[in-house]
Amino acid sequence: MRAFVFGICMFLAGVLPAQASITPPDELVRSVTNEVLEIVRQDRGVRSGDPDKVMALVHDKVLPHFNFRRMTMLAVGRDWREASPEQQQRLVDAFLTLLVRTYSNALTQYRDQTVAFLPLRAASGDTNVQVRTEVRQSGAQPIPIDYMLERTDAGWKVFDVVVAGVSLVTNYRSTFAQEVRAGGIDGLIRSLENRNRELEQGAART
Amino acid sequence: MKSKHAAQFKLVSGGARGLAAAACIVVLASGCASTPRNPDDPLEGYNRAMFSFNEGVDKAIAKPVAQVYEKATPKPVRTGVHNFFSNLTDPWIGLNNLLQGKPGEAFSDWMRFLFNTTFGIAGLFDIASEAGLPKHDEDFGQTLAVWGVGDGAYVVLPFFGPRTLRDATATPLDFSANGVSRIDHVPTRNSLLALDAVQLRATLLPAERALEGATLDKYAYMRDFYLQQRRYKIHDGNPPVEYEDFDGAHAPGTSGGIAAVAAEAAVSRLELVEPGSVGPLSAAPLPQHGR
């Protein structure tokens, strides 16, 4: 009996705090960044730009912390409301593929830079926060990279990345709006999927 | 417009006259080409033509030369050259900080110039940054913005690339206030200007490699990139940020209730905002970065 009670206590001690406290956003960004950079430093395949290795790294370590639905919504803008749930899902898939393909390249450019984590400016009740970092390298100005995160039941999720003042997400908005004006939501989906196919063929060639 | 272009060309060099003529022909030829109308970009037809012209010049001359420069020089040399030109911009950056009501930053910029010119050996070494005096990024276009001058239309200048109308007006002043263009000995001046252009182009090569293929429409992507980063710089890295919710499903309970009313209000408020004018971004372009 005593062992049983002890067991219950251990169970509660182990589980309850885990649910009550999700990783704070700044710690999340720090730990994911450090983990990924450590892998890039160690893994020759990633550093030499092996597409499979880079993709695997991004899919395993980075993407679980992103909310791609919200990112796509922000990129599409007000036309998002006109899209059916099926169209929305195809947009999310196509945009995710485009972003991953494009920005995975950036990882392979990583060499001797260091990433500094700036102090978090947020109140404890905030559900949207900005985590600011700086990529520093000798002989060049630091490049600010800010992550916008929102609190969800599954932990903090990134919904935008802002590099030197430019949002990688909303920078697509007017291009997307232009595609929708020309060919409707389906036209935008087609353009994205075509571009992804071109990128895939380009990657296969090299 | 025309006289401004002429002035720009003269600044670049006398030999640019042929290119100027070519640029005019490109613009005239495509002046009536139909492009999608975008309320944020009234000069889009002209801009797209000039953008292609600049891309052509870049592909034929600037990029190959920058690639040779990158291959032929070791990194420390490139860093020294970059620091040398960067140092010459600090007095003007300081003056603009002063004009924007930031005397502390202005003083810091002038101290940078003093330290780097002397102890940093004519600016080859950026010791001021190591000593805790960070490089700032200011120009007269930003000063005008702080004084309340609006952006004006987006415009692509020949060779100089993306600008807002306000910044295009300020560009000749920024250009002539740069230490290099005030050198009297013309061959020296032109050689230095050319070297500056080459080293600046070379700093963009890595970013360009990383971003290859990111866009559906390179012109529009570069335009929005420029405008976003510009806004970011004008606000010294803290532009007002707003993220809208375009997702009906996100708004809880469309069947009445306070939440629904609030969501409705939020949406109708957002409708009044042009997509281009919102967003965390409206700030600055690749070619301007890293000085």
Taking the CA of residue B21 and the nearest CA in chain A, the distance in Å comes to 31
Instruction: Determine which of B130-144, B183-197, B209-223, B253-267 has the lowest per-residue pLDDT on average.
Output: B253-267
The average confidence (pLDDT) of chain B is: 76
pLDDT(B256) > 50? no
The tally of domains found in chain B comes to 1
Strands B154-157 and A166-167: unpaired
Closest CA in chain B for residue A102: B214
Interface test with B, best of A148, A174, A191 (most B CBs within 10 A): A174
pLDDT of res. A47: 78
Q: How confident is the model at residue A1 (pLDDT cuts 50, 70, 90)?
A: low
Q: pLDDT tens, B272-281?
A: 333 333 333 3
The larger pLDDT score, comparing residue A159 to residue B205, is at A159
Query: How much is the average pLDDT of B197-215?
Result: 78
Q: How confident is the model at residue B203 (pLDDT cuts 50, 70, 90)?
A: confident
Range of the domain at A152: 2-205
Closest CA in chain B for residue A161: B280
pLDDT of res. A52: 82
Please report, for the domain that includes residue A33, its CATH number: 3.10.450.710
Alpha helices in B38-138, H assignment, sequence order: 44-57, 63-72, 75-99, 103-118, 127-130
The average confidence (pLDDT) of chain A is: 84
Select the residue of A140, A191, A198 nearest B290 (Cβ to Cβ): A140
Q: Which of B205, B153, B207, B161 is nearest to B51 (CA)?
A: B161
Contact A175 B221 (CB under 8 A): yes
Q: A180 near A192, Cβ under 8 Å?
A: no
Chain B positions touching A87 (Cβ under 8 A) are: none
Contact B281 A165 (CB under 8 A): yes
Select the residue of A166, A172, A179 nearest B283 (Cβ to Cβ): A166
pLDDT of res. B221: 87
Closest CA in chain A for residue B285: A166
Contact A165 B228 (CB under 8 A): yes
pLDDT of res. A56: 86
Query: How much is the average pLDDT of A95-113?
Result: 80
* Position B178 in a domain: yes
pLDDT(B23) > 60? no
Contact A195 B213 (CB under 8 A): yes
Chain B positions touching A138 (Cβ under 8 A) are: 79
Q: pLDDT tens, A10-54?
A: 555 555 444 446 888 999 999 999 988 888 888 888 877 787 888
Select the residue of B211, B247, B281 nearest A167 (Cβ to Cβ): B281
DSSP for B123-136, written as a single string: TTS-HHHHTT----
What b/e sequence results for A11-37 when a residue is b if at least 16 CB atoms lie within 10 Å of its CB, and e otherwise?
eeeeeeeeeeeeebbbebbbebbeebe
Q: A99 near A171, Cβ under 8 Å?
A: no
Q: How confident is the model at residue A205 (pLDDT cuts 50, 70, 90)?
A: low
pTM over 0.80, yes/no: no
Q: How confident is the model at residue A139 (pLDDT cuts 50, 70, 90)?
A: low
pLDDT of res. B128: 92
Query: How much is the average pLDDT of B98-113?
Result: 96
pLDDT of res. B181: 83
pLDDT(B149) > 60? yes
Q: How confident is the model at residue B36 (pLDDT cuts 50, 70, 90)?
A: low
Query: How much is the average pLDDT of B207-224?
Result: 79
Rounded to the nearest 10 degrees, how much is the dihedral formed by the CA atoms of A171, A177, A182, A184?
A: 120
The tally of domains found in chain A comes to 1
Q: Write out the E strands in chain B.
A: 154-157, 161-164
Q: How confident is the model at residue B258 (pLDDT cuts 50, 70, 90)?
A: very low
Interface test with A, best of B216, B228, B242, B272 (most A CBs within 10 A): B216
Report which listed range, A100-104, A112-116, B116-120, is most confident.
Answer: B116-120
Query: How much is the average pLDDT of B180-206?
Result: 87
Taking the CA of residue A106 and the nearest CA in chain B, the distance in Å comes to 5
Taking the CA of residue B19 and the nearest CA in chain A, the distance in Å comes to 30
pLDDT(B255) > 80? no
DSSP letter, residue A136: E
* Position B116 in a domain: yes
In single-letter form, the type of residue at position A104 comes to S
Query: How much is the average pLDDT of B170-190?
Result: 87
pLDDT(B34) > 70? no
Query: How much is the average pLDDT of B163-189?
Result: 89
pLDDT(B114) > 50? yes
pLDDT of res. B100: 96
Q: Within an 8 Å CB–CB cutoff, is residue A173 touching chain B?
A: yes
Q: B133 near B97, Cβ under 8 Å?
A: no
The larger pLDDT score, comparing residue B290 to residue A42, is at A42
Query: How much is the average pLDDT of B137-159?
Result: 94
Taking the CA of residue A139 and the nearest CA in chain B, the distance in Å comes to 6
Q: How confident is the model at residue A192 (pLDDT cuts 50, 70, 90)?
A: very high
Select the residue of A80, A103, A165 nearest B283 (Cβ to Cβ): A165
Residue B215 makes CB contacts below 8 A (sequence gap 6+) with A175, B221
pLDDT of res. B67: 93
Residue with tokens 């913005």: B145
Looking at chain A, the whole-number percentage of residues with pLDDT higher than 90 is: 37
Closest CA in chain B for residue A199: B213
How far, in Å, CA of B173 to CA of B153, rounded? 19
Range of the domain at B145: 37-235
pLDDT(A188) > 90? yes
Taking the CA of residue A146 and the nearest CA in chain B, the distance in Å comes to 11
Closest CA in chain B for residue A145: B237
How far, in Å, CA of A135 to CA of A100, rounded? 20
Q: Within an 8 Å CB–CB cutoff, is residue A32 touching chain B?
A: no
Written as six digits, the tokens of B284 are 């600055």
Q: Which conformational region is residue A155 in: left (phi greater than 0), alpha (psi within -120 to 50 degrees), or beta?
A: left
Chain A positions touching B135 (Cβ under 8 A) are: 141
Closest CA in chain A for residue B230: A165
Taking the CA of residue B199 and the nearest CA in chain A, the distance in Å comes to 13
Closest CA in chain A for residue B128: A139
